[in-house]
Structure 1
Amino acid sequence: MPGNRAVAYKEPGVVEVIDTEYPTFELKDGPGVNPANVGRKVPHGVILKTVTTNICGSDQHMVRGRTTAPANLVLGHEITGEVVEAGPDVEFIKVGDIVSVPFNISCGRCRNCKERQTGICLNVNPDRPGSAYGYVDMGGWVGGQAEYVLVPYADWNLLKFPDRDQALEKIMDLTMLSDIFPTGFHGAVTAGVGVGSTVYVAGAGPVGLAAAMGAQLLGAAVVIVGDLNEDRLAQARTFGCETVNVGEGPLQDQIEQILGVPEVDSGIDAVGFEARGHGKDAGHEAPATVLNSLMDITTAGGSLGIPGLYVTGDPGAVDEAAQKGSLSLSLGTGWAKSLSFATGQCPVMKYNRQLMMAILHDKAPIAKAVNAKAISLEDAPRGYAEFDAGAATKFVLNPNGYLTD
């Protein structure tokens, strides 16, 4: 049996590559594993040899110590892999298949899964609806920033690529199907983006850039991306976005300079709970800033898509309320303007096949848009540090040498 190496959270600001157990078709006790899931049999699962696995901004929240993640939690929920073992109940997925793994784990059997709400599956996390690999409070399914990983409910969860050679040729794009591309696209869909829309995306990290490309695919006339990081704003401009630096003056004024009016049809929050202030307050943490600014600049009757992560436990928050996920929202503004809000995990399976087809037929160069860069598994700590420092890069880990360029 082969060994296994994986990226683990150790303490705030520190990740390490460790030796860990090769997966089996049973959930074992370990860091972050819900006691009710210990011993859970997974005959419906497969073991993947990881082709690619990406560092995500959501991982960074844990690594910064901004969640209740335990030490030695194996990280990683953005996974693409090759099937090397299949459980006895797996019928359609075969050894040798190259597959994308939706970051949200779902059973395919519960009411929510049957209604395509796979981000809030009722059967995979004993504590609450919804689950994910390698993430705090998500049931304890081991993360995929590793050489090998277990995936449950394989026939349901996995997206098989139709041609192995074509998939490996486009793998830097296809690796984004596990999370950020569907998540960004979901933000655009739930914000009501359509042909001719004007769109503001808060945040020029990988999810924000994916949301911007998603808005373009949906036919937006103008996509404006806002951030404090000039390198990330420059990356947004490489594929046709307008940009604003939210530290350089009132957001409405900057939008008016671009559009002629101080508002947009659709707003997308790709920042989440570690938001920073705008204008004179730029640089200071102000977790409700993005949500309140989106309500200010979105036209009456418009919609907000909120793929940015918000949590119920943030020990590093600026005040006691925010530590529990309670933010000072100007809900009256949203009510008065009849705005619609959509929050929560993206139901990846709702979008990943369509986005795969867009990639395979050269309609969505998402890896270029997010400036994807492949690094080794052993280089993961450096990737985390550079991403946390604001690098305009999406780091893709290459644990088993599938990426040769």
Structure 2
Amino acid sequence: MGGNKAVAYKGPGVVEVIDIDYPTFELKDGPGVNPANVGRKVPHGAILKTVATNICGSDQHMVRGRTTAPADLVLGHEITGEVVEVGPGVEFIAVGDLVSVPFNISCGRCRNCKERKTGICLNVNPDRPGSAYGYVDMGGWVGGQAEYVLVPYADWNLLKFPDKDQAMEKILDLAMLSDIFPTGFHGAVTAGVGVGSTVYVAGAGPVGLAAATSALLLGASAVIVADMNADRLAQAKSFGCETVDLTKGGPVEQIEQILGVPEVDCGIDAVGFEAKGHGEGASEAPATVLNDLMDLTAAGGALGIPGLYVTGDPGGIDEAAKKGALSLSLGTGWAKSLSFTTGQCPVMKYNRELMMAILHDRVHIAGNVNATAITLADAPRGYAEFDKGAAQKYVLNPNGYLDAA
């Protein structure tokens, strides 16, 4: 086969499109690859020709230099593709299948996978439970912002779309199944959202908008989305959300103006460790969102926390933050009997059902997150605009499949 172009992290604020090797059914040495994974055979894998691969806020944390990601790490964990090769151990996935790839890499064999905890698979990352494509400290599986990508444990990991023509008609929606739609849905489910719930979503980026979409899909009566970015707040309003502008101060008073009470039933953190304080020009204060959620969520409620928190942040505001240690008012959470759910979303727990909701026109996630297709060559521009707060979900189109989308 020929070559392979991919988007790589070069250093803080810099990504480039580079030439990399075409995938094989073996994990090779390279930036970020755990030595214990070098030479790992993947007869159970499939090679995909990428249909869509999205820029994610989690990628942006690395590109900002806020993680320990090494230079030349190939990025991208939100992948939709067409199978072009399968390994000798693949039984059910076939060449030509159009598939969604959960961003969690999981084996399907370990105790956690068998319990549907695919975000913390025990067998794919020698560093710790849980893995993902193109991400720091996740084992070194090559990222999918590329023309071609290897997916291990293909029979287990890949979600096949039942009808290729129907799928291509809704491909921008289906491209959200690899991460942000299940992640937002997980945030809503773990926050306890149900029929009639009032919900507060911190953050109007793509995951926050996906969480808001999910809350509405689950029957929430009121979904309030908070951010400091006017364009992103306008995007939330476009599909029926109320909004809180945090440049005008804290959320509690604004929630009371909307609901008549200063609290909600369910709280969702879609911001993570780069959170800021309140008010115009607020500086970084990484515990702000979590403390806000404990203040404004009703006693006995739950917090869904799909926002990313890390154990190593070179750009942290103090020595504690650099280790992921935040000043949380845990006493508030304890006194109010709040429950917390953190960590990677187990995508496979939700993606099939969400696929069916998309295919049967129950939800239009691409419109809600303003999904926008761009070329692979345009990836550096997409990263730069996203970093500046563009109210768009950039979807890379490495092989031209999205030209008609």
TM-score > 0.5, shorter chain as reference: yes
Deviation for aligned residue 1:250: 2.8
- Structure 1 counterpart of 2:326, which letter? L
- Structure 1 counterpart of 2:376, which letter? L
**1:112 match:** 112
**2:130 match:** 130
**2:95 match:** 95
Q: Distance in 2 between matches of 1:96 and 1:28?
A: 26
Deviation for aligned residue 1:249: 2.3
Q: Distance in 2 between matches of 1:399 and 1:249?
A: 42
- Structure 1 counterpart of 2:345, which letter? C
Q: Distance in 2 between matches of 1:261 and 1:185?
A: 25
The percentage of aligned residue pairs carrying the same residue is: 84
**2:341 match:** 342
Q: Distance in 1 between matches of 2:302 and 2:278?
A: 21
> Do structure 1's residue 287 and structure 2's residue 286 form an aligned pair?
yes
Q: Could you list the runs of 4 or more consecutive aligned residues of structure 1 that deviate by over 3 angstroms after TM superposition? A: none
- How many residues are aligned here? 404
Alignment of 1:254-403 (within 5 A): 254-279=254-279, 282-403=281-402
Deviation for aligned residue 1:262: 0.2
**1:152 match:** 152
Q: Distance in 2 between matches of 1:320 and 1:74?
A: 29
Deviation for aligned residue 1:283: 2.4
Alignment of 1:163-312 (within 5 A): 163-279=163-279, 282-312=281-311
- Structure 2 counterpart of 1:24, which letter? T
- Tell me the TM-score normalized by structure 2: 0.99
Deviation for aligned residue 1:389: 0.4
| CA deviation vs aligned residue, 1:350-386 (integer Å, no higher than 9, x gap) | 0000000000001110000000000000000000000
**1:44 match:** 44
| CA deviation vs aligned residue, 1:285-317 (integer Å, no higher than 9, x gap) | 000000000000000000000000000000000
| CA deviation vs aligned residue, 1:256-278 (integer Å, no higher than 9, x gap) | 00000000000000000000001
Q: Distance in 2 between matches of 1:344 and 1:96?
A: 33
Q: Which shows bigger deviation, 296-305 or 241-250?
A: 241-250
Classify the secondary structure of the residue corresponding to 2:266: strand
Classify the secondary structure of the residue corresponding to 1:403: helix
Q: Distance in 2 between matches of 1:151 and 1:250?
A: 44
Q: Distance in 1 between matches of 2:250 and 2:97?
A: 51
| Backbone CA RMSD of aligned residues | 0.6
Classify the secondary structure of the residue corresponding to 1:279: coil
- Structure 1 counterpart of 2:148, which letter? Y
Q: Distance in 2 between matches of 1:362 and 1:380?
A: 30
For structure 2, which runs of at least 5 residues remain unmatched after alignment? none
Q: Which shows bigger deviation, 262-271 or 242-251?
A: 242-251
| CA deviation vs aligned residue, 1:2-46 (integer Å, no higher than 9, x gap) | 210000000000000000000000000000000000000000000
Q: Distance in 1 between matches of 2:393 and 2:62?
A: 17
- Structure 2 counterpart of 1:315, which letter? P
Classify the secondary structure of the residue corresponding to 2:149: strand
Deviation for aligned residue 1:403: 1.0
| CA deviation vs aligned residue, 1:183-235 (integer Å, no higher than 9, x gap) | 00000000000000000000000000000000001100000000000000000
| CA deviation vs aligned residue, 1:146-192 (integer Å, no higher than 9, x gap) | 00000000000000000010111100000000000000000000000
Q: Distance in 2 between matches of 1:10 and 1:167?
A: 34
